[in-house]
A and B are shown apart, each in its own frame.
Chain A
Amino acid sequence: MLGKIFFLLCLSSAWAEDLCSKAVPPEAYYVRLSIKTALGDKAYVWNDNEMFLFQATLAFAMRSQFSGQEYNVSNIVVCDETPRVSFWFVVTSLEDPSRLVSRGDVEQAVRKSRNRINSAFLLTDQTLEFIGITPTLAAPVAPNTPPWLIVFGVVMGAVFAGILVLLVLPLIQKKRKKNQPMEDEDSDEETQVKTAENGPERSGVYNMSFSDDDKFTQM
């Protein structure tokens, strides 16, 4: 039993190496990671362990897309790894290791679990690129009333209230003054007699036509 499994594993790895030496098959997807761009100082080093994680995540994606089919790390074949951290991969079919899963199926699986794949590597759609699989655009959040209308409403309300106050206030004050003198008239009469004796009145309006400008009368 153990011997059989060992034999299958050797066969699949040999098959994988065989796949890599041939030309890029049409079912392959090209992947590019930009770890340093995304994480800067906190960037991790890309090594075989990270590659294993990638294979595992992709196997997870395939499993969640096609429920019941138990894809394994060995089904994800990775080739042509570069210092850029880019490579291409194919997914071998469960029943027959020599057959590859179609591009469409792989794309569906990746799209479904894109978020999980990204977060496994702390990357985004732009820094973990699957060439050929465009990132899904976020649906825009459109509020029912545009926010600017609300601010506009508040400001206009305040301005109109202010205008009303400024226009109406003097009218109210005039009315109050009209009512007040009616009550004060009696008490004023006594004081008026006193002030008439105290010197020239200064409460009149200065009438310019009677100024002491005597240029017409000089001889």
Chain B
Amino acid sequence: MKLKLPNPGLEDRILSHQQLDKVEEEEAGDRPKWDNKAQYMLTCVGFCVGLGNVWRFPYLCQSHGGGAFMIPFLILLVLEGIPLLHLEFAIGQRLRRGSLGVWATIHPYLTGIGVASMCVSLTISLYYNTIIAWILWYLFNSFQETLPWSQCPMNANLTGIISECERSSPVDYFWYRETLNTTPSIEEDGGLQWWMLLCHVCAWSFLYICIIRGIETTGKAVYVTSTLPYVVLTVFLIRGLTLKGSFNGVKFLFTPDLSELAKPTTWLDAGAQVFYSFSLAFGGLISFSSYNSVHNNCEQDAVIISIINGFTSVYAATVIYTIIGFRATERFDNCLSGNIVALLNAFELAESDITDSSYDQVVQRLNETYPDVIQGLDLKTCNLDTFLSEGVEGTGLAFIVFTEAITKMPISPLWAVLFFIMLFCLGLSSMFGNIEGIIVPLQDLKVFPKTWPKEATTAVTCLICCAVGLIFLQGSGNYWLSLFDTYGGSIPLLVVAFCEMVSVVYIYGIDRFNDDIKFMIGHKPNFFWQATWRVISPLIMLFILVFYIITKVSEKLLYKAWDPESEKFPTLVEKTYPVWIYVIIFVLAGIPCIAIPFIAVWKCVKDCCWYG
């Protein structure tokens, strides 16, 4: 028994199969088209593969039991990622509209889903490009023989190094002070940082030149931005494997801890990671797919892109952890030699008396004979696993941990340049999809006059986003960015994805959808697709959404601040948000979600009034 909600007038709004064929044959549509299949695949891969694959997945993998995390990740990839991806590709290709157009076509009351998608794409574009600006800043600073984050600068009267840097580390100082110039709390805005403004303008100009004529220019840009990261990852893998201690890192990453599978948070994080990694519910994928020819094999595309995305996550995790293993081993060696030197100096022993291997025995022996002296020395505990599990994710991984590791490699500027070019390409190719998810709905909503050329509409969008993005360039910009990231890009997407599945399966009709796919690719979707689209995937989405809301609502709203005046410096201090932040959180997370029922009700009321 198939549930289907009544949907009169659907036939009037969509092109029939014969009409689609005719349009295809005569090439009469005014819709842009991909030059070739490779452009389409590269654009989708670029959109899906982003910064999250490099700096979120390795952290999750290592903190949730290493190799064991692969199990929930792969299971949810198959049950949640691939079906949703196929759904978006198929509906875009069939209805040949952007995300807003698709939902409005299926039923006018569902326009809210498109609007919500657009809002989320807008929120994310705003702060994502600031991250690209940070990457550009580091990239520009990498063209120096001694990298600026490898040593502390001197203070004003040249008597010593700056105290903030001395108490923390050169990489921390460069990130928090010279890049962000961060304020101790979110209330103090600290003014605009001019160097960041320049990089911000550069990032938006770069994006503009790539999207200036829509997929005509984007399609050319992706040949570089989607392939270069793989080249750089391979180079880093080769370099990483030849460094000392890299195998420690890889072993640590993949050592399975099967007890983690019993915890629900592992499955929740795996599900969330699969979902966000595929860039679903942004509307960009629907748009990209709508530029394809009608008979393109979207099923095959969905499977291929999912496999590439999963493989890239694992590959990037391996590369990152070879470098982290190297850094941890280096730290461990330094810690140990520091202790050894302290012991040698205190007991006036010859240098060859204590080696790395005999360290433990010697310390034990000396502790028995001279316990007070050992106490007085205050030796640090050196544990390799502690250093390895200084698991960092996000900007901390890229701009602090990895940059530190790079300074210890020979020919550091080369590796820094390569690394930041890779991050730049990963970020930029994701931005193409985000911007597509904003511009196409705006065109569908007829916000821009029809007489304006494409170049003008993209210019206006980029200018407005650039202007609003100035929030993130202040001293407190980093705190605003993590606020937007945590609340703007999480819950609304889950809601939109759930609504998408329900709309296509139950309002558009799974029977009609199956027929469409049979028309497009030649065979009806098999049992796997039926089961996942109708039951399994919506249930998984619902579970993730509910658990996410529960965890987010129950936890206290805290943020981590860099405060040189605090006692725990250089550890980040946890502070509570001020009260007015709750309003902002509501705007970010609540408004897109509320837009869906609100617009439905509004349209219903409008229709009733029209007929009444």
Tell me if A26 is interfacial: C-beta within 8 Å of chain B: no
User: Which of chain A's residues has its CB closest to B159's CB?
Assistant: A137
Q: Decide: A205 near B198, CB < 8 A? Known: A151-B143, A163-B212.
A: no
How many B residues face the partner with a CB closer than 8 A?
41
Chain B residues near A156: list those with CB within 8 A.
198, 201-202, 205
Q: How far is the CB of B435 from chain A (nearest CB, A)?
A: 16
Tell me if B345 is interfacial: C-beta within 8 Å of chain A: yes
Complex Cα distance A160/B212, Å? 12
Q: Decide: A83 near B348, CB < 8 A? Known: A156-B205, A206-B26.
A: yes
Q: List B residues 336-362 near A (Cβ within 8 Å).
A: 337, 341, 344-345, 348-353
In the complex, per-residue mask of B127-148: 1 if CB is within 8 Å of any chain A CB, else 0:
0000000001101110110000
A152 and B160 form a contact (CB under 8 A): no
Q: List A residues 187-219 near B (Cβ within 8 Å).
A: 202, 205-206, 208, 211, 213, 215
How many A residues face the partner with a CB closer than 8 A?
34
A167 and B455 form a contact (CB under 8 A): yes
Instruction: Give the one of A149, A206, A215 with max B CB within 10 A.
Output: A206
Complex Cα distance A160/B345, Å? 61
**At the interface, is chain B mostly helix, strand, loop or mixed?**
helix
Chain A residues near B195: list those with CB within 8 A.
148
Q: List B residues 99-139 near A (Cβ within 8 Å).
A: 136-137, 139
B209 and A166 form a contact (CB under 8 A): yes
User: Which of chain A's residues has its CB closest to B141's CB?
Assistant: A148
Tell me if B609 is interfacial: C-beta within 8 Å of chain A: no
A-B contact pairs, 25 of them (CB 8 A): A35-B351, A37-B341, A82-B348, A83-B349, A84-B345, A84-B350, A84-B351, A85-B350, A86-B345, A86-B348, A147-B140, A148-B143, A148-B144, A148-B195, A151-B143, A156-B198, A156-B205, A159-B202, A159-B209, A163-B209, A167-B455, A202-B26, A205-B28, A211-B19, A213-B19
A163 and B208 form a contact (CB under 8 A): yes
Chain A residues near B205: list those with CB within 8 A.
156, 159-160, 163
Chain A residues near B67: list those with CB within 8 A.
none
Inter-chain pairs besides A85-B351, A166-B455, A213-B16, 5 sampled, C-beta below 8 Å: A86-B345, A140-B153, A150-B143, A152-B202, A159-B205
Q: List A residues 1-36 near B (Cβ within 8 Å).
A: 32, 34-36
B28 and A152 form a contact (CB under 8 A): no
Using a CB–CB distance below 8 Å, which chain B residues touch chain A? 11, 16, 19, 22-23, 26, 28, 136-137, 139-141, 143-144, 153-154, 158, 160, 195, 198-199, 201-202, 205-206, 208-209, 212-213, 217, 337, 341, 344-345, 348-353, 455
Complex Cα distance A68/B400, Å? 55
Q: How far is the CB of B432 from chain A (nearest CB, A)?
A: 16
Q: Which of B136, B199, B213, B344 contacts A84, CB < 8 Å?
A: B344
Q: Decide: A206 near B341, CB < 8 A? Known: A84-B348, A140-B154, A160-B205.
A: no
Tell me if A139 is interfacial: C-beta within 8 Å of chain B: yes
In the complex, per-residue mask of A80-112: 1 if CB is within 8 Å of any chain B CB, else 0:
001111100000000000000000000000000
Complex Cα distance A156/B348, Å? 59
Using a CB–CB distance below 8 Å, which chain A residues touch chain B? 32, 34-37, 82-86, 137, 139-140, 147-152, 155-156, 159-160, 162-163, 166-167, 202, 205-206, 208, 211, 213, 215
Complex Cα distance A149/B158, Å? 25
Chain B residues near A85: list those with CB within 8 A.
350-351
Chain B residues near A152: list those with CB within 8 A.
140, 198-199, 202
Chain A residues near B26: list those with CB within 8 A.
202, 206
Complex Cα distance A148/B136, Å? 10
Q: How far is the CB of B163 from chain A (nearest CB, A)?
A: 15
Q: How far is the CB of A208 from chain B (nearest CB, A)?
A: 8
A147 and B144 form a contact (CB under 8 A): yes
Q: How far is the CB of B308 from chain A (nearest CB, A)?
A: 29
B212 and A151 form a contact (CB under 8 A): no
Complex Cα distance A209/B489, Å? 42
A137 and B350 form a contact (CB under 8 A): no
Chain B residues near A82: list those with CB within 8 A.
348
Chain B residues near A35: list those with CB within 8 A.
351
Complex Cα distance A139/B118, Å? 54
Complex Cα distance A211/B22, Å? 10
Q: Which of A137, A148, A206 contacts B140, CB < 8 Å?
A: A148
Chain B residues near A149: list those with CB within 8 A.
140
A162 and B341 form a contact (CB under 8 A): no
Chain A residues near B139: list those with CB within 8 A.
151
Complex Cα distance A86/B143, Å? 43
Chain A residues near B19: list those with CB within 8 A.
208, 211, 213
Q: How far is the CB of A137 from chain B (nearest CB, A)?
A: 7
Chain B residues near A86: list those with CB within 8 A.
345, 348
Q: Decide: A137 near B348, CB < 8 A? Known: A159-B205, A167-B455.
A: no
Q: How far is the CB of A133 from chain B (nearest CB, A)?
A: 16
Chain A residues near B455: list those with CB within 8 A.
166-167
Q: How far is the CB of A1 from chain B (nearest CB, A)?
A: 43
Q: How far is the CB of A136 from chain B (nearest CB, A)?
A: 10
Complex Cα distance A215/B139, Å? 61
Complex Cα distance A127/B554, Å? 55
Q: How far is the CB of A28 from chain B (nearest CB, A)?
A: 16
Q: Decide: A151 near B348, CB < 8 A? Known: A37-B341, A206-B26.
A: no
7 nearest interchain CB pairs?
A206-B28, A83-B350, A148-B140, A36-B351, A82-B348, A151-B140, A84-B348
Chain B residues near A137: list those with CB within 8 A.
154, 158, 160
Q: Decide: A84 near B141, CB < 8 A? Known: A155-B202, A160-B205, A163-B208.
A: no
Complex Cα distance A139/B143, Å? 21
User: Which of chain A's residues has its CB closest to B19's CB?
Assistant: A211
Complex Cα distance A82/B16, Å? 95
Complex Cα distance A83/B351, Å? 8
Q: Which of A37, A151, A162, A208 contacts B209, CB < 8 Å?
A: A162
Chain A residues near B341: list those with CB within 8 A.
34, 37
Chain A residues near B144: list those with CB within 8 A.
147-148
Q: How far is the CB of B515 from chain A (nearest CB, A)?
A: 17
